[in-house]
Amino acid sequence: MKKRLLIGVVMTDCNNDFQEEQLRGIISQAFRSDTDIAVITTMHNFYFDSLHKNTDKYICDLVFSDKFSGFLYVRNSFGTEKIRRYIDDILLMTGKPVMLLDFPGHRHFETTAIDDCSAFEKITDHLIEVHGCRKIYCLTGPKGIFVSEERLKGYRNSMKLHGIPVEKNYCRYGDFWKDASKSLAAEIITGKNGRPDAVVCGNDVMAIELTNALISGGVRVPEDIAVTGYDDSADARSNIPSITTYKRPNFQLGAEAFRRLYRIITGKICSMIPNEYGKISLGRSCGCFGTERIRREDTRREIMDKRLESYLLYGDMLFDITNTDSLSVFADKLDNYTYLVYKNSKLKICLTKKYIESTMGIYNDKLSFHCGDELKIILSKVMATRKYDEISEYFSSAEILPEYSQNRNYPVAYYISPLHYNDNFFGYCAVSFGKNPMAYSTHYLQWINYVNVALEQVRIKGILSNNILRSNMSMLYDSTTDLLNRSGTEQELLRHREFFTGDLAAEIITIELVGLNKVYYSSGEERCSNILKAFADVLKRCVRDNEICGLWNNNTMCIFSRDKKRACEISEFFRNEVEESRFSENNFNIDFSVGLYSVVLNEEVNFGSAVYQSMVNKIFSYNNAENLENPQYEKLCALRSSIRKNPAFPWKINEIAESLYLSKSYLQKIYKNFFNKSIIEEMIGFRIEMARNLLEKTQLTVTEISRKCGYSSYNYFVRQFRSIVGCTPVEYREKSR
């Protein structure tokens, strides 16, 4: 089967009549041309900033998928220039052909536009020729936007054609929303602006708001002032009075834009679908009686939208899907509410691996999103049937959906909407309406918001649950060795008492690290921890499945076993491991002993007393012979510990030798034998170690740090630091930060 093209449509506000008409044209023409469609849509238009809204834009990262052959980009649907430039940049980075709708003269992209000028001229002609209006105001969209300027141009052309002069205060730039209409209505009502015969508005939203504001202020529409809109929206038809407007050929715009992009990509001309051309739709706001313009399908959809919206607002969906503590339960609950997405044919909830892992306590960072991140479908519906076979492995978001890679006899169109809460991105919802070239209704935005809230609740509950579990587990484990601590060992014995009950006695084997205190004085706490961890690793390797082991205290590990021969095996195993470590970098050659005690572990036994008896009853001792040969070893360990703690002190070899009753030469000789460094080398190393710590964690100047570390000369400190670390103190601070 041939590879089917996939065209991406980047837009927002798909629920608006204006955008839906364009989408109907795009999808209808795509299905005629056997092409798949993926509408990458944000849930907000970015007119107002917020942390949650700004995260919406990361769904646009999907444009980097290699699945796409090209893009249709409705640039004007996005509310601010900032977000437009962001999407411009990422679309440009893809290197794929991009076709803009209603945006001429872009430096990098092709464009398709509709003649708004002629259409707006016709509706102005209607006011002049049919209703005899002369003083006509024009309220268009934002200044500098192509469609705003074209509509203003059409108004001016009509006024000029009929010989009516246009004064400066007749024309006003608006916002395609409600604020500009309210402002103009206030000026007319208060007399700040002279009362016109009529006002032509750049879209239906402004016309509806202006009409209602004028009527509220005591101005009759259309008796005192006639008002017209543009776009022929359902709201304009249902308003009282109904709005005279113009049915813009947005369907034709979408279809034409697709055909042009298809030809750029393939070099072929695709078969055209029948177009729907623009015309004036009469209402009562201009003085006409109006016509019955609402089709039966439109009426049914409006009724269903209101009914479903009522179910959302007053039903149990939000409570039900948020009252879950796992993704599987969430998916089961949400399955009951997919019917609220009107006429959906297919619906999939796709969540990122990062989000899923965050609910299990595995991933704790902010949940970002990039094309190529792994996702999993946790809920898949086809019509009213749940498809469990699609809920399996992770797939790459670069595929958009696995369905786009499957062999099919028909094209599909999906709306890909982001799922997120504030700046944590969860994944996306994919909705298809099957063969119907339609968009989702306004209440779908509320449905998605409920899903977002529920997913955030599942995530938080998962984090809290795992934190509590981790906290409880951390109370039973030692953080250095990852072995059970004393409390954990006792609980584990109680849980598995069946291993040790009966007539056979349990063998309690203890491994006491008697040389650990010497290491602390000679090398410090870090070296002690490393040795303890090394012994713990040996213990983990030799313990069996039916044995229980743990760290009983700071220097004693224990094993509970049923095998009487295990004590000798463990003693030999530890001795071999310790001696072999002498020839490696991780040397943990220290003194240790192995003890043994046999006891029946019944309910009356005292675990603490039994382990103590094992420590007393030593059956094996290992001594580090090198250290026992020289009686000065412990003194030198204490000396090294003092130098490490106070490296800035002006240590002098003569004074140290006198305090230890040793000659200077003998002191230096045995110190280097024990620690492989001279006293001076150790002191310099500890000073540089102190300097590195101060550079990383304080704001002190390098001069102040050199003094704190015992250097009287700044230059000497810098030279010594560079010779050991490999860079200057200033360079080290910059790298560390």
pLDDT tens by residue, 593-643: 888 888 887 767 778 888 888 887 888 888 765 554 556 766 777 787 788
Task: Please give the distance of CA 587 from its chain centroid, rounded to a whole number.
Answer: 44
- Residue 350 contacts residue 379 (beta carbons within 8 Å): no
Q: Phi, psi at residue 467, to the nearest 5°?
A: -65, -40
Instruction: Determine the 3-state secondary structure of 619 from DSSP.
Output: strand
- Residue 227 contacts residue 242 (beta carbons within 8 Å): no
Q: State the Cα–Cα distance between residues 278 and 557, nearest whole angstrom.
A: 86
Q: What is the average pLDDT across 187-194?
A: 88
Model confidence pLDDT, tens digit, residues 643-673: 877 888 888 888 888 888 788 888 888 887 7
Q: What is the mean pLDDT of the chain?
A: 86
> Sorting pLDDT into bands at 50, 70 and 90, what band is 293?
very low
Position 272 pLDDT exceeds 50? yes
| CATH number 3.60.15.10 is the correct assignment for the domain at 116-248 | no
Closest CA to 106 of 62, 73, 151, 152: 73
Rounded to a whole number of angstroms, the distance between the first and last alpha carbons of the chain is: 56
Tokens of 144: 């500098």
Q: Burial code of 623-645, b = ≥16 C-beta within 10 A, e = fewer?
A: ebeebeeeebbebbbebbeebbe
Closest CA to 576 of 538, 633, 631: 538
Distances (CA, A) of 448 to 37, 282, 345, 349, 455: 21, 36, 17, 11, 10
Homologous superfamily (CATH) for 6-113+252-266: Response regulator (3.40.50.2300)
Q: State the Cα–Cα distance between residues 330 and 347, nearest whole angstrom.
A: 15
Beta strand segments in 127-209, E: 136-140, 171-173, 198-201
Q: Mean pLDDT check: name the lowest of 277-281, 338-342, 487-491, 603-607.
A: 603-607
Closest CA to 568 of 556, 579, 559: 559
Closest CA to 60 of 397, 375, 344, 312: 397
Query: How open is the CA angle 305-309-314, to the nearest 5 degrees?
Result: 155
- Residue 211 contacts residue 184 (beta carbons within 8 Å): no
Distances (CA, A) of 490 to 485, 494, 617: 9, 6, 21
| CATH number 3.30.450 is the correct assignment for the domain at 307-466 | yes
Q: State the Cα–Cα distance between residues 508 and 494, nearest whole angstrom.
A: 15
Query: What pLDDT score was predicted for residue 497?
Result: 65
Span 633-736: which CATH code? 1.10.10.60
- Residue 185 contacts residue 221 (beta carbons within 8 Å): no
- For 734, counting Cβ atoms within 10 Å of its Cβ (0-12 exposed, 13-18 middle, 19+ buried), the class is exposed
Q: Given this chain, do its domains 6-113+252-266 and 116-248 carry the same CATH topology?
A: yes
- Residue 610 contacts residue 599 (beta carbons within 8 Å): yes
- Residue 45 contacts residue 79 (beta carbons within 8 Å): yes
Q: State the Cα–Cα distance between residues 205 and 181, nearest whole angstrom.
A: 9
Query: What pLDDT score was predicted for residue 583?
Result: 55
Query: What pLDDT score was predicted for residue 631?
Result: 64
Q: What is the average pLDDT across 448-455?
A: 94
- Residue 199 contacts residue 210 (beta carbons within 8 Å): yes
Query: How open is the CA angle 658-662-667, to the nearest 5 degrees?
Result: 105
Query: What pLDDT score was predicted for residue 7?
Result: 96
Choices 3.40.440.10, 3.40.50.10490, 3.30.70.270, 3.90.700.10: CATH for 486-625: 3.30.70.270
Q: How many residues does the chain have?
A: 737
Model confidence pLDDT, tens digit, residues 708-734: 898 888 888 888 998 888 889 888 888
Tokens of 386: 């749940």
The residue ranges of every structural domain in the chain are: 6-113+252-266, 116-248, 307-466, 486-625, 633-736
Q: State the Cα–Cα distance between residues 612 and 301, nearest whole angstrom.
A: 81
Can you name the residues that pair with 281 across neighbouring β-strands?
245
Position 374 pLDDT exceeds 50? yes
Above pLDDT 90, what percent of the chain?
A: 39
DSSP annotation of 13 reads -
Q: What share of the chain is helix, strand, coil (3-state, %, to 5)?
A: 50, 15, 35
Query: What pLDDT score was predicted for residue 316?
Result: 87
> Sorting pLDDT into bands at 50, 70 and 90, what band is 151?
very high
Q: What is the average pLDDT across 687-692?
A: 89
- Residue 270 contacts residue 259 (beta carbons within 8 Å): yes
- Residue 338 contacts residue 308 (beta carbons within 8 Å): no
What's the alpha-carbon Rg for the chain, to the nearest Å? 39
Query: What pLDDT score was predicted for residue 588?
Result: 78
Question: Which is more confidently placed, 388 or 632?
Answer: 388
> Sorting pLDDT into bands at 50, 70 and 90, what band is 194?
confident
pTM: 0.61
